[in-house]
Amino acid sequence: MKKLLLIAGLLLLGVSAFAGKYEDELTERMKVEEEKAQSAWDSGVRADMINASVNLDDEWEKELNKVYDLILKKLPAKEKTKFKAEQQKWKQDTKIKLKKAYDKYVVEEGERMAGELAASDSLEETKDRALKLAKMYDKLSK
């Protein structure tokens, strides 16, 4: 039995070591914010749903900026310049992508639905980028 517990413990340690510490902590922190948003989304009130997406997007953006700054501290000067340019490109590309999506939603779904759908798209883009940067930071921290 002790051997089985030891093996299980080692497996859990291996799994947690494989996943990035910062990424895991970020995901845990954001669960609270996502639960708040979920209750507003479940309300069925359009304004509450949009506000929940926008507020959650803001929280993800704060986290994105934190991990971005942490990465900058780890990178050598030459790589910092490249990374900053990559982040600027991501911001510009995302802004264009979201604008096109909003315009498409207006045509296909109407203006009222477009705001809700665009807020959701923005949230997903920000969350995905924050998690990507968290993984990058974890790799730099090994």
User: Taking CA 132 as the corner, what is the angle to CA 83 and CA 97, rounded to the nearest 5 degrees?
Assistant: 80
Residue 30's pLDDT is: 96
Residue 46's pLDDT is: 86
Residue 115's pLDDT is: 87
Please list the rounded mean pLDDT of every run of 10 residues in the chain (142 residues).
Answer: 42 49 96 93 90 94 97 94 97 97 95 89 96 96 88
Of 32, 28, 37, 23, which is closest to residue 140 (Cα–Cα)?
Answer: 23
- Separation CA 111–CA 118 (nearest Å): 10
Residue 19's pLDDT is: 54
Structural domain count, the chain: 1
- Separation CA 60–CA 33 (nearest Å): 9
Residue 112's pLDDT is: 84
Q: What is the pTM of this model?
A: 0.82
Residue 5's pLDDT is: 36
Domain carrying residue 53: 2-140
3 state DSSP class of 3: helix
